[in-house]
Amino acid sequence: MRDRIAGLEQRTFLRYALGVALGLGVTILLLLLMEKLIESDRSPYSEPPKGELLSFVRLLEEPPPVIREPPTEPPEVEPPPDVDPPELPPVRICEEIECGAPVEPPPADPPDVTGNGVATDGDFLPIMKVAPEYPRGAASRGIEGYVLLEFTVTSLGSVRDPVVVDASPPGVFERAATAASLKFRYKPRVLNGQPVDVRGVRNVIRFELESG
């Protein structure tokens, strides 16, 4: 029995010894393998690179020179010749019934002024009548016509409140005739030694072009 136990113990010891020896051998092999791996990892950084580095320098070609032509002077442009403005036909402006127009103007004298049966000392008389300005548009198109105005001759001989009674053609000569009438001057009417206003004075201004 003792021999059997002793044989078992001996076999167990041998197994342990063999396991320890194998473990030491495997450990040593692992350590050597790790050292080799570490050395292989360090070699790219520890050893200088082999071979030579080549540097390439690319030379740029010079662009062709740009030849600029000298600026050309603009051709001289002759100024347009002076052109005289078109001549308008001569204008003949008629007042009252001097030009013999077919339109019968109303009587130029105002209604009689009555008062206590006393006669007037003197009637009003025209002193200055300014010719109106013929509208250029009407003159260029050969338009003629007339304007009948009614206004008041003041005690100072000036014209006040001109009103267009009739005009032909309408909308053409009214403004020119009204502006001209405001420049008329009269000798005022004198009643009992005092100048008075005369209302309802009518005046026809005709616009006619002289045939030339």
Indicate whether 34 pLDDT > 80.
yes
Instruction: Measure the CA–CA gap between 164 and 187, rounded to whole angstroms.
Output: 23
- CA 81 vs. chain centroid, Å, equals 32
What is the pLDDT, as a whole number, of residue 4? Answer: 74
Q: Which residues pair with 91 in a beta bridge?
A: 209
Least confident piece of the model among 64-68, 100-104, 133-137, 153-157: 100-104
CATH number of 91-209: 3.30.2420.10
Q: What is the structure's pLDDT at 166?
A: 96
Strand order in the sheet with 198-209: 91-95, 198-209, 145-153, 159-168
Q: What is the pLDDT of residue 55?
A: 54
**Is the Cβ–Cβ distance between 195 and 158 less than 8 Å?**
no
> What are the extents of the domains in the chain?
1-44, 91-209
- Does the structure show a pLDDT above 50 at 33? yes
Identify whether the C-beta of residue 162 lies closer than 8 Å to the C-beta of residue 178. yes
Banded model confidence at residue 97, pLDDT cuts 50, 70, 90: very low
- Answer yes or no: is pLDDT of 168 > 60: yes
- Per the model's pLDDT, the better-predicted residue between 5 and 185 turns out to be 185
The answer, yes or no, to whether residue 48 has pLDDT greater than 50, is yes
